[in-house]
Amino acid sequence: MFTDRQDAGRRLAEILRGRLEGADAFILGVPRGGLVVAAEVAKALGLPLDIVIASKLGAPGQPEYAIGAVDADGDVTIAQGIRLPEGYVETEAAARSVEVRRRVEAYRRGRAALAVQGRTAVVVDDGIATGLTIRKAVEYLRRHGAQHVIVAVPVAPWGTAKQMRSEGLDLVTIEEPYDFAAVGQFYREFDQTTDAEVLALLDGATG
C-alpha cells in the first residue's frame, strides 16, 4: 500500500537507482497520474523528466475497458481475440489520436521532446491494469530509437506482469498482487491529477 503517488515514486527511485547508475537515461511519465510518480523518480535520481503519451481505446459501451491503444504517431494496436463492430476501431482510434495530440501540445507548450535516440528511457506510470497503453508507449519509444526501455510502476497485477515479461519487456514493480481490481486500491490517496499539476511538474523538472 502506498500513501500517495509521491510516496510510490520515491520507493520506485530506490529500486531503479542501482540499475541506472552511469546510464544515459531519462524518465518519461505517462500523464496524468503517472507523471506525479515519474517526477519523484526523476528528482530523486537527478535525471531529466519528460512525457510519453498513449491512449487506450475503449470497448463499445464500456469506455474504461481497454481493447487497444494508440500512440502519438497515430499507430494503433488492438488486443488479440476481440470481435468489434465494423468501423469501430477506425472511429475510436481517430478520436483518441486527436486527444493524444491535444495533450502533447498542451503539456509541451512548444518545448521539444527529449532526444530518445540511443538512450535508456524509463517509462513510469502510477500502475498497470491490462498493460495495453504502456506497451504502446514502449513501442513508440523503440520506434524512435531508444536503446533500451524500462517500464517502472508501483503496482501491476501478477498475471499482467508475468505476461509482459514473457514478451521481453523490462518491467520493474514494487507490488504484483494476485487480488487486483484497480490501481487505486493500492493507494491511500489517489485523487485525479489535473492538467495544471502536470504543467507545474514539467516546468519544475530537470531538463
Each residue's pLDDT tens digit, 7-19: 999 999 999 999 9
- Assess if residue 125 is contained within a domain: yes
CB-neighbour burial class of residue 47 (10 A; exposed 0-12, middle 13-18, buried 19+): buried
Q: How confident is the model at residue 84 (pLDDT cuts 50, 70, 90)?
A: confident
Q: Please say if the pLDDT value at position 44 is more than 60.
A: yes
The domain in which residue 157 lies consists of 5-53+111-201
pLDDT number for residue 121: 97
Mean pLDDT calculated for residue range 167-181: 96
175 falls within a domain: yes
Answer yes or no: is 33 within a domain: yes
pLDDT for res 45:
96
Domain tally, the chain? 1
Tens digit of each residue's pLDDT (9 = 90 or more) over 186-198 = 999 999 999 899 9
Task: Give the domain CATH number at 25.
Answer: 3.40.50.2020
161 in Cβ contact with 180 (< 8 Å): no
Would you say 164 and 184 are in contact if contact means Cβ atoms under 8 Å apart?
Answer: no
Assigned domain for 81 exists:
no
Which pLDDT score is estimated for 15?
A: 96
pTM above 0.85, yes or no: yes
pLDDT, mean of residues 73-96: 89
Span 137-158, average pLDDT: 96
The average confidence (pLDDT) of the chain is 93
Question: What gap in Å lies between CA 127 and CA 54, rounded to an integer?
Answer: 15
Q: Is residue 89 part of a domain?
A: no
Q: What pLDDT is recorded for position 165?
A: 97
Say whether pLDDT at 205 is over 90: no
Does residue 77 fall inside a structural domain?
Answer: no
Confidence of residue 201 (pLDDT cuts 50, 70, 90): very high
Is 70 exceeded by the pLDDT of residue 207?
Answer: no
- Exposure letters 139-173 (e unless 16+ CB within 10 A, then b): bbbeebebeebbbbbbbbbeebbebbeeeebbbbb
**Quick check: is 187 in a domain?**
yes
Is residue 94, in this structure, part of any structural domain at all?
Answer: no
Whether 23 shows a pLDDT value over 60: the answer reads yes
Q: What is the mean pLDDT of residues 58-64?
A: 86
Q: Which residue type does 206 have?
A: T
